[in-house]
Amino acid sequence: MLSCSGVSIRYQVGDFKNIGLKEWVMRRLTGRYKVVEFWADRDVTFSLESGDMLGIIGANGAGKSTLLKAVAGIMEPTKGKIVRRGKIAALLELASGFDGELTVRENTYLRGALLGYTRAFMDDAYGSIVDFAELRDFEDRPFKQLSSGMKSRLAFSIASLIKPEILILDEVLSVGDGAFRRKSEAKMREIISGGATTILVTHSMGQVREMCSKVLWLDKGRQIAFSDDVPGVCAAYEAYLKNTSVPPSFP
């Protein structure tokens, strides 16, 4: 369903962000123009079959979210190849894309329209969305008055309506309190049981051990391990976190 072969993603940072065209030309001519290359991911390779759930682990700055954006088609890899076979849905940055001045009800319909749902579909689904998000008492309240947890719950509730063949989740199972987290995990299991190939980025080793059939460990953009030995990789990663002076490795 999905394969990445030698995927590398490079960012360029330097003077060009803060100068105008004239200054850029002058610096190029005088040799004072500097560009720094930063590789967010280097030579990442893995493949997933229908029904697989991949957990991607690694510390902040490991390249996890950048890799997800490439897999989702939001950005193209600098090197390597990504092959997708099926409809992709990506739940990234859940609380973005809402209008703070609109009500919960209005934002629900707006977000549904952005995801491609018809008005008739949203009319039928609206009640289940706000009930799942536990926001029935806040329907007519401006979105900006909600807590960050409430905003994420609404976004998750709307997004979980989708029935994709490839599902990408970036820290979305950590939204809300403990009770809602369990409910969101159950919803994701329901989607996965329908045969979706799923990628989950999370800092929770418990979620990876419990839900994932494969695991990918990244460290500073490098692939340390890709394996179906989920307990083994998680144990090695936890041991590394306890002693970061030791280079990350997995047999």
Each residue's pLDDT tens digit, 26-69: 776 776 666 778 899 999 999 999 889 999 999 989 999 899 99
10 vs 191, residue with greater confidence: 10
Spatial distance between the Cα atoms of 152 and 154, rounded to a whole number of angstroms: 5
Segment 87-108 mean pLDDT: 82
Angstrom distances, CA of residue 22 to CA of 10, 12, 16, 34, 251: 26, 20, 11, 15, 53
Is residue 246 over pLDDT 70? yes
Show the DSSP H helices in 133-204 as ranges.
148-159, 178-193
β-pairing verdict for 35-48 and 2-14: antiparallel
Is residue 4 over pLDDT 90? yes
Spatial distance between the Cα atoms of 63 and 56, rounded to a whole number of angstroms: 10
204 vs 176, residue with greater confidence: 204
Virtual torsion, Cα 208, 186, 194, 164, nearest 10 deg: -80
Q: Residue 157: its pLDDT value, please?
A: 85
172 vs 88, residue with greater confidence: 88
pLDDT band for position 17 (50/70/90)? low
pTM exceeds 0.85 for this model = no
Is residue 195 over pLDDT 90? no
Beta bridge partners of residue 13, listed in sequence order: 36
Spatial distance between the Cα atoms of 169 and 187, rounded to a whole number of angstroms: 13
- What is the per-residue DSSP string for 105-148? HHHHHHHHHHTT--HHHHHHHHHHHHHHTT-GGGTTSBGGGS-H
What is the pLDDT of the chain when averaged over all its residues?
86
Instruction: With CA atoms as reference, report the closest residue to 204 among 193, 188, 191, 221.
Output: 188
No. of H helices and E strands in the chain?
8, 9
pLDDT band for position 173 (50/70/90)? low
Chain mean position to CA 59:
15
Q: Residue 15: its pLDDT value, please?
A: 58
β-pairing verdict for 197-201 and 53-57: parallel
Spatial distance between the Cα atoms of 82 and 88, rounded to a whole number of angstroms: 13
Q: Looking at the domain 2-29+38-242, which fold is it?
A: Rossmann fold (3.40.50)
Segment 76-101 mean pLDDT: 83
Q: Residue 66: its pLDDT value, please?
A: 93
